[in-house]
Amino acid sequence: NDLKKDSRGALIVLEGLDRCGKTSQSARLLSSLEGLRYSVESWRFPDRTGVGLMISSYLSNQSQLDDHAIHLLFSANRWEKRSLMEAKLMSGTTLIVDRYSYSGVAFSSAKGLDFQWCKVKKKNEVGLLAPDLVFYLDISLEKAAERGGYGGERYEQLEFQKKVAESYKKLTDASWKEKVTYGSPSCFSEIPATVEEKEAAVMSVNEASLIEK
Ligand code: 2DT
C-alpha cells in the first residue's frame, strides 16, 4: 500500500482542543513519514497570512468581529489555500494539517452560533478538499489545562475550551473509531475528494476517521 510517486498524497488532519498535543503529534508524524521516504509537509489553519492577518488580529483581541463574519473568514482562509493544497496533493505530497473545517464548527458553535448553521446550512465548506484521515486527539480538559496553561489568545480559556469539547463531541458519529494505531497512509484515489453536499459535508467524519486516545 505504499504511496507511489505517481499517486497523490494524503490529506491528514489533526483536530482537538488547545494543548491536546497536535503540534507534537504532527511533528512526529511528519518525521516518521519522512523516514519512510514520503514527500510530506506540515500545515496549519488558520494560516496567518492573507485573510489570516484579520483572523490573527481577531484572535489576539486587537479587533472585534461578528461571530458569523469570523467564522466565514476562517472558511475563506481555507479557500485561499485550496488550489495550493490540491497541487501539492496531486504532485504526490502528503499534507499533515493542524486544524481544518472541524475546528470551524467546534469553535464557532461553542460561541453560541447555531451548530447546523456552522456545519452544513451555509455550505461554505462544500468544495474544499475532504481529508482522507482525521485524528481527533482526545484529551481531558484537566490534562490540557495542566500542560503549562493557555496562552493569551481569545479562545484559550478553560470555560470556553469546555464548550469546544462539547461541540467536538457533537461532531462525533458512528464512523468515529477509537483506535490508536495507524499505518502509513494507503493509496488514495488519484483525484482528491471534495466535500460533497450530499455527504453532509466535511463534518461528517468518514469511515477512515480515527479517534486517538
Ligand atoms: P491555533 O491556536 O491552532 O493557531 O488556532 N479556529 C481555527 C476556529 O475558530 N475556526 C477555524 O476554522 C480554525 C481553523 C481554533 C487558533 C484558534 O482558531 C480557532 C483556535
What residues does ligand 1 touch, defined as CB less than 6 Å away? 18, 45-46, 59, 74, 99, 103-104, 107-108, 155
Is residue 132 one of the residues assigned to a domain?
Answer: yes
Burial 100-136 (b: 16+ CB within 10 A, else e): bbbbbbbbbbbbebebeebbbebebbbebbbbbbbbb
Q: Is residue 5 part of a domain?
A: no
Out of 103, 122, 150, 167, mutate this one to test ligand 1's pocket (max ligand atoms within 8 Å of CB): namely: 103
Does residue 203 belong to any structural domain of this protein?
yes
- Interface confidence, given as ipTM, is 0.98
Distance CA 45, CA 26 (A): 13
Omega into 131 within 30° of 0, i.e. cis? Answer: no
Name the one residue in this structure whose C-alpha cell is 489568545.
153
Residue 148 resides in a domain: yes
Which positions ≥6 away from 57 have C-beta within 8 Å?
63
3 lies in a domain?
A: no
What is the number of structural domains in the chain? Answer: 1
Task: Report the CATH number at residue 52.
Answer: 3.40.50.300
Decide if 2 is inside a domain. Answer: no
Residue 40 lies in domain: 11-212
Per-residue tens of pLDDT for the chain, all 213 residues = 454 455 788 899 999 999 898 998 899 999 989 998 999 999 999 999 999 999 999 999 999 999 999 999 999 999 999 999 999 999 999 999 999 988 999 999 999 999 888 876 557 888 888 888 888 888 888 888 888 778 889 999 999 999 999 998 888 765 555 544 333 334 445 566 665 432 333 333 333 333 232
Whose CA is closest to atom 10 on ligand 1? 104
201 occurs within a structural domain = yes
Contact 41, 95 (CB under 8 A): yes
In a domain, 39, yes or no: yes
